[in-house]
Amino acid sequence: SYELTQPPSLSVSPGQTASITCSGDKLGEKYVSWYQQKPGQSPVVVIYQDTKRPSGIPERFSGSNSGNTATLTISGTQTVDEADYYCQTWDYTTVAFGGGTKLTVL
Distance CA 83, CA 67 (A): 26
Tell me which of 12, 21, 44, 68 binds another protein, using CB under 8 A. Answer: 44
Distance CA 18, CA 27 (A): 21
Could you write out the DSSP letters of every residue in the chain? ----B--SEEEE-TTS-EEEEEE-TTGGGS-EEEEEE-TTS--EEEEBTTTBPPTTS-TTEEEEEETTEEEEEETT--GGG-EEEEEEEEETTEEEE---EEEEE-
- Write down the least CB distance from residue 80 to another protein, Å: 19
31 binds another protein (CB under 8 A): yes
Pick between residue 79 and residue 94 the one whose CB is nearest to another protein.
Answer: 94
80 binds another protein (CB under 8 A): no
Pick between residue 32 and residue 76 the one whose CB is nearest to another protein.
Answer: 32
7 binds another protein (CB under 8 A): no
35 binds another protein (CB under 8 A): yes
| Residues forming the site for another protein (CB under 8 A) | 1, 30-31, 33, 35, 37, 42-45, 48-49, 54, 86, 88, 90, 93-100
